[in-house]
Amino acid sequence: MIILRNLSLEALDRGKLEHYTLTRKIAEDELTAKYISKNFSTWIKEPTIKDRIELEKTYVVVKEKTNLGMIGTKPLDRAGNLELWYVLSPTERGKNYGDKILGELTPYLIEHIAGLKNIKLKIKRDNVASNKIAKENGYILNHKEQEENIYYYFDEPTKNVEKKH
């Protein structure tokens, strides 16, 4: 288990009834389907290391024995940019947990991920709550794509620039 300030991250275990139930609840939620992949439950990956975060894996966010939602990352790119995602359980939305999760996870990632230069969030433009949470946690809107806003924690994305000799 990974302990943050007020929350903890528990390694996803689909064999654990509470984790399986949370995964199904999120995957079947109409609002979740609007903002994330329809294949959500098939692409989340279970971590193998239990006491430190692994990239490209999924974790259950827990507070006082309540499963609040899930977080995960994509691979760290060659320039050190890390794309982070999170989703709340439908029953835990509107309780300020998105803000708490991002607020605690951001400094943890900066401190614990070797080679990390920046954190990236892709948020659907019409997802008002998540866009607000990103801004309130110091993420800077970098650019807008057709359907998504792209935020970076350190303003500009790190570029992988190769020097020519």
Specify the CATH class of 2-152 in words: alpha beta
154: left (phi over 0), alpha (psi -120 to 50) or beta: beta
In the chain, where are the structural domains located? 2-152
97: left (phi over 0), alpha (psi -120 to 50) or beta: alpha
Give the pLDDT confidence of 82-134 residue by residue, as tens digits: 999 999 999 999 999 999 999 999 999 999 999 999 999 999 999 999 999 99
Q: Which two tokens stand for residue 40?
A: 């959500």
pLDDT, mean of residues 130-153: 94
Contact status, residue 112 vs residue 2, Cβ threshold 8 Å: no
Torsion from C-alpha of 119, 124, 129, 133, nearest 10 degrees: 10
What pTM, to 2 d.p., does this model score? 0.83
